[in-house]
Amino acid sequence: RKEVEQDPGPFNVPEGATVAFNCTYSNSASQSFFWYRQDCRKEPKLLMSVYSSGNEDGRFTAQLNRASQYISLLIRDSKLSDSATYLCVVKGGSASKIIFGSGTRLSIRP
């Protein structure tokens, strides 16, 4: 089993739709969680950290479920510019191990 698993997609949704991704992780000792966004042929950029209490940043909401060991990302009122690959990132139990999921591709159509 992979340490961090994501549905690769692609998710193809119309502009204005709400879309949600999940990401599961295997190490129950994982400490920190993030969502990154990567555009084609570009480096990943931090989208948001994920806190235990859940957090929201504009149209984006991230949640953590430690009991079921998954994190989620919800995008409301999706825009064409949201088209990208979304990477789930988990910091493991050791001091420096950071693990990337394989990414979920999102495509927003007009």
Partner 1 sequence: GAVVSQHPSRVICKSGTSVKIECRSLDFQATTMFWYRQFPKQSLMLMATSNEGSKATYEQGVEKDKFLINHASLTLSTLTVTSAHPEDSSFYICSARGAGGLTDTQYFGPGTRLTVL
For residues 86-103, one letter each, b for 16 or more C-beta atoms within 10 angstroms of the residue's C-beta and e for the rest, the string is: bbbbbbbeeeeeebbbeb
Phi, then psi, of 80 in degrees rounded to 5: -55, -35
Does position 79 interact with partner 1 (CB under 8 A)? The reply is no
Does position 100 interact with partner 1 (CB under 8 A)? The reply is yes
Size of the site for partner 1 (CB under 8 A): 17
The full length of the chain comes to 110
Closer Cβ to partner 1, 39 or 77, answer by number: 39
Q: Which parts of this chain interact with partner 1 (CB under 8 A)?
A: 32, 34, 41-46, 49, 87, 91, 96, 98, 100-103
